[in-house]
Amino acid sequence: MTAPADAAVRPFGSAPGAADAPRRRGPIDPRLWRYSATARGYLVLTLVTATINVAMIVVSALAIGAVLAGVLTTGTAELGEWRTELLVLAGAVTVRTLVTWVQSRFAHRSASRVVAELEHEVLAAATRLPPRELEPRRDEIATVLTRGLGGLSEYLTGYVPALLLAVTLTPITVVVIAFQDLTSAIIVVVTLPLIPAFMILIGLLTKGKADRTLQTMTTLSAQLLDLIAGLPTLRALGREQGPAEKVRELGDDHRRTTMSALRVAFLSGTVLEWLATLSVALIAVSIGLRLVYGDMALEAGVVALILAPEAYLPLRTVGAKFHAAEDGKAAAERAFTILDRAAATPSATAGAGFDATSAELTLTNLSVASRDGYAPHRLDAVCRPGAVTVLAGANGAGKSTALLAVLGLAEPAEGSVEVGGRPVTADDAWWEQVAWLPQRPVLLPGTLADNLRLTGVDLTTDGLEEICAATRFDEVLDELPGGWDTVVGAEGSGLSLGQRQRLALVRTLAADRPVLLLDEPTAHLDDATETTVLETVRELARRGRTVVIVAHRPSILAIADSVVRVVSDSGVRVVSDSVVRVVSDSGVRVVSDSVVRVVSDSGVRVVSDSGVRVVSDSGVRVVSDSGVRVVSHGDAAPGTGER
């Protein structure tokens, strides 16, 4: 799906809860075959090779038993006498070797393809997630894509073949042993369940270790990325050593978790080997004693003794590969959770074939859920073609979220967004008609021309030179020796904030889209550039564009044809032992001479028993040593208040 013009948004959202935690399934997750065609083909190949291997093992055991018993009992040691049996044995060994080689070769190739397919599916699914669901999963998705799914190779190349052998070779081997020696078969049947039983106990002991390992790795990765991103600021403040201790603690946690998993893996491997060895030894002693006393035929004893280790081998291999595959399984389960969630997200197509050139954009009673209520709350606006509509309001009121709702990227809790009477949907047909400038425009590593093309604009686009002049980006190009071929790094490294904003404005304003959504378009610009940019925006509106701007600056409000006030429902609750009065959605007035407690999920903090000091994200400041004085951006001028 093609993104709307310009960059990504990082809206907030609740972290994945317990409901989103990976749910343990069977040893082979059926979702793996559903999401990967290569995995389905590999499963068929593994089943075929496992079946052939089982047949060759049984044939080899019968041939060895016949030759060995015949030589010892008849005394005939001529090769010619045993030519048929030896040829059968040689053929069985050759076929088994070839099948094992084919399975091993295609296993690694298929595993690489499966991992690549899942990475592609997860990345595509991540782009389909709504921003509020994507934001808390960014670090998890990055870890799954970069390191987590790589562990799935061990699961596919080792664990899955061993598991299929366990469900084919073991029962067939037991049946063949029973035909040769019922006593040995009974011993196998009695001792064989001990291995799964101990595996279950070990699994209970290690339950969640792989998930914790992946979680600590995700946390460590996120902490390091935050540290790297904020390193210039930390260096400027002289605090670059501050997060070092936290990163060191996370690294130690990851090391302890990993070593704990390895310790359990080695312990479980030792236990499984000991059980299998003891069981085979018990069968060997039983066969030896009965051969000494003449209670069984030599050929039957040899065949049973050869097949006995083969009965235990698949389960031993499953146990040995189990822990090596756990990390990959944990990452795969998280990947499947993302894929399932994306699959459950409806794919809207209502905008197909729709032209927004002359359509009104209508927001009716729009409310979008936020951390502590609704932002925006009950927003009504009509944005007309040929006019500039400005969304104004306090910080955190939900102005940027309103733009997300217009784009179809934020789901309204109440109300609706319509274009020409049709509900807005998050699809390509609608996004292709919108040019969007977010607060933090995305600049990708590459040339300036490459970043220009993100909105469908190229160097031959009509009016590009005029827009470059209006934004004064032409001056930036003159300063750069490579011009449009200048290479920038991630997030536009190599350009100043003002230069990045100018580039983002150029590609947004030059895009031939009937709807313009601009979030703080003149941020990081000087007054002269701001004036020319606003003149260009006004001119685009006169040409019939629908222009919606999020702004605080008076200069932007001055060009507006209509100004829509955006408010939030912050859900602030004030409790007092005395007189308390709360007024306004954006401001708070408190009257009290005693203890006042303000409780809110929006970041309000209350300090003091005799007075109150409140800091709120909604722009309210209450400072007092004895009583209460309120300064509200919404209801009172700075320096005024009410006792």
**pLDDT class for 274, splitting at 50, 70, 90?**
confident
Domain membership of residue 287 (yes or no) is: yes
**pLDDT class for 498, splitting at 50, 70, 90?**
confident
Based on the domain organization, do 143 and 270 belong to the same domain?
yes
Question: Of 299, 317, 344, which residue is a domain's last?
Answer: 344
Based on the domain organization, do 555 and 601 belong to the same domain?
no
Domain membership of residue 9 (yes or no) is: no
Domain membership of residue 168 (yes or no) is: yes
Three-class DSSP category at 248: helix
Output the DSSP codes for 139-161: HHHHHIIIIIGGGHHHIIIIIHH
Based on the domain organization, do 561 and 577 belong to the same domain?
no
Q: Tell me if the pTM is above 0.85.
A: no
**pLDDT class for 205, splitting at 50, 70, 90?**
low
Based on the domain organization, do 528 and 625 belong to the same domain?
no
Give the closest residue to 6 by CA, choosing from 589, 509, 638: 509
Using CA atoms, how far residue 14 sits from 132, 134, 135, 363, 641, in Å, is 8, 10, 9, 25, 36
**Residue-wise pLDDT tens digits, 219-241:** 777 777 777 777 777 777 777 67
Domain membership of residue 156 (yes or no) is: yes
Pairing status of strand 446-447 against strand 434-437: unpaired
CATH of the domain at 287: 1.20.1560.10
Q: What are the tokens at 160?
A: 């899955």
pLDDT for 579 beyond 50: no
Using CA atoms, how far residue 197 sits from 170, 272, 315, 479, in Å, is 16, 10, 11, 72
Phi and psi, residue 640, nearest 5°: -105, 165
Q: Which residues contact 42 (CB under 8 A, 6 or more apart)?
A: 106, 107, 110, 111, 114, 156, 160
Highest mean pLDDT of the ranges 4-13, 257-266, 496-505: 496-505
**Average pLDDT of span 182-200:** 85
Radius of gyration of the chain (CA): 35
Cα four-point dihedral sign 109, 112, 115, 117:
negative
Instruction: Pick 110 or 621 by higher pLDDT.
Output: 110
**Average pLDDT of span 520-534:** 89
Give the closest residue to 432 by CA, choosing from 362, 511, 498: 511
Based on the domain organization, do 186 and 289 belong to the same domain?
yes
pLDDT for 147 beyond 80: no
Using CA atoms, how far residue 336 sits from 36, 211, 270, 466, in Å, is 11, 14, 33, 49
**Residue-wise pLDDT tens digits, 346-403:** 554 444 456 788 889 999 999 998 877 888 999 999 999 999 999 998 888 889 999 9
Using CA atoms, how far residue 453 sits from 330, 461, 517, in Å, is 38, 10, 18
pLDDT of residue 390: 94
Q: What whole-number distance in Å separates Cα of residue 470 and Cα of residue 530?
A: 9
Based on the domain organization, do 381 and 477 belong to the same domain?
yes
pLDDT of residue 457: 86
Based on the domain organization, do 584 and 469 belong to the same domain?
no
| Residue at token pair 């999963």 | 137
What proportion of the chain, given as a percentage, has pLDDT over 70? Answer: 77
Q: How many domains does the chain have?
A: 3
For 463: left if phi > 0, alpha if psi spans -120 to 50, otherwise beta; the answer is: left
Q: Which residues contact 431 (CB under 8 A, 6 or more apart)?
A: 2, 3, 4, 5, 407, 408
Based on the domain organization, do 159 and 200 belong to the same domain?
yes
Q: What whole-number distance in Å separates Cα of residue 165 and Cα of residue 317?
A: 9
pLDDT of residue 573: 39
Instruction: Pick 614 or 179 by higher pLDDT.
Output: 179
Question: Of 278, 311, 344, which residue is a domain's last?
Answer: 344
Mean pLDDT (the chain) is 76
Question: Of 344, 377, 402, which residue is a domain's last?
Answer: 344
Q: What whole-number distance in Å separates Cα of residue 603 and Cα of residue 614?
A: 10
Q: Are 279 and 191 contacting, i.e. CB atoms less than 8 angstroms apart?
A: yes
Give the closest residue to 564 by CA, choosing from 423, 410, 388: 388
Give residue 612's domain range. 573-632
Domain membership of residue 199 (yes or no) is: yes
What does the angle CA 532 – CA 536 – CA 537 come to, to the nearest 5 degrees? Answer: 120
pLDDT of residue 563: 92
Domain membership of residue 519 (yes or no) is: yes
Based on the domain organization, do 276 and 247 belong to the same domain?
yes
pLDDT of residue 3: 45
Cα four-point dihedral sign 276, 282, 285, 291:
negative
pLDDT of residue 18: 37
Burial class (CB in 10 A: 0-12, 13-18, 19+), 166: buried
CATH of the domain at 520: 3.40.50.300
**Residue-wise pLDDT tens digits, 55-78:** 999 999 898 888 888 888 877 767
Q: What are the tokens at 128?
A: 């389909």
Based on the domain organization, do 178 and 233 belong to the same domain?
yes
Domain membership of residue 83 (yes or no) is: yes
Q: Are 560 and 566 contacting, i.e. CB atoms less than 8 angstroms apart?
A: no
CB atoms within 10 A of CB 205: 11
pLDDT of residue 113: 87
Domain membership of residue 17 (yes or no) is: no
Taking the chain, what is the end-to-end CA distance rounded to the nearest angstrom?
56
Burial class (CB in 10 A: 0-12, 13-18, 19+), 252: exposed
Based on the domain organization, do 586 and 546 belong to the same domain?
no
Three-class DSSP category at 462: coil
Based on the domain organization, do 187 and 280 belong to the same domain?
yes
351-381 CB burial, b ≥16 within 10 A, e <16: beebebeebebbbeebbbbbebbbbbbebeb
